[in-house]
Amino acid sequence: DTGVSQDPRHKITKRGQNVTFRCDPISEHNRLYWYRQTLGQGPEFLTYFQNEAQLEKSRLLSDRFSAERPKGSFSTLEIQRTEQGDSAMYLCASSLVLNSYNEQFFGPGTRLTVL
Amino acid sequence: DQQVKQNSPSLSVQEGRISILNCDYTNSMFDYFLWYKKYPAEGPTFLISISSIKDKNEDGRFTVFLNKSAKHLSLHIVPSQPGDSAVYFCAASARGGSNYKLTFGKGTLLTVNP
pLDDT recorded at residue A60: 81
3-state secondary structure of B102: coil
Instruction: Point out which residues pair with A15 in neighbouring strands.
Output: none
Q: Identify the CA nearest to B42 among candidates A105, A81, A69.
A: A105
> Could you report the per-residue pLDDT of B75-97, keeping only the tens digit for each?
999 999 999 999 999 999 987 65
A103: chain B residues, CB-CB within 8 Å:
34, 46, 49
Please tell me whether the peptide bond between B40 and the residue prior to it is cis, using omega within 30 degrees of 0: no
Average pLDDT (A77-97) is 94
CA distance A77 to A90: 9
Rg over CA atoms, chain A: 14
CA distance A107 to A90: 10
Asked if A34 contacts A67 with a C-beta cutoff of 8 angstroms, the reply is yes
Q: Is A4 on the interface with B (CB under 8 A)?
A: yes
- Report CA-CA distances (Å) from B45 to A109, B57, B93, B98: 12, 18, 17, 23
> Could you report the per-residue pLDDT of A30-71, keeping only the tens digit for each?
899 999 999 999 999 999 998 888 888 888 888 999 999 988
Q: Are strands B10-14 and B108-113 parallel, antiparallel or unpaired?
A: parallel
Percent of chain A with pLDDT over 90: 69
pLDDT recorded at residue A71: 85
Q: Is B88 on the interface with A (CB under 8 A)?
A: no
| Average pLDDT over all residues of chain A | 91
- pLDDT of residue B98 exceeding 70, the answer is no
Average pLDDT (B58-75) is 97
CA distance A79 to A59: 15
Contacts for A53 with CB less than 8 Å, ≥ 6 apart: none
Q: How far is B100 from chain A (nearest CA, A)?
A: 7
3-state secondary structure of B96: coil
Q: Do B101 and A43 touch (CB under 8 A)?
A: no
A10: phi then psi, degrees, rounded to nearest 5: -140, 145
- pLDDT of residue B54 exceeding 70, the answer is yes
Positive or negative: CA dihedral A8, A52, A67, A94: negative
Q: Is B107 on the interface with A (CB under 8 A)?
A: yes
Positive or negative: CA dihedral B84, B86, B92, B98: negative
| Average pLDDT over all residues of chain B | 93
CA distance B85 to B20: 13
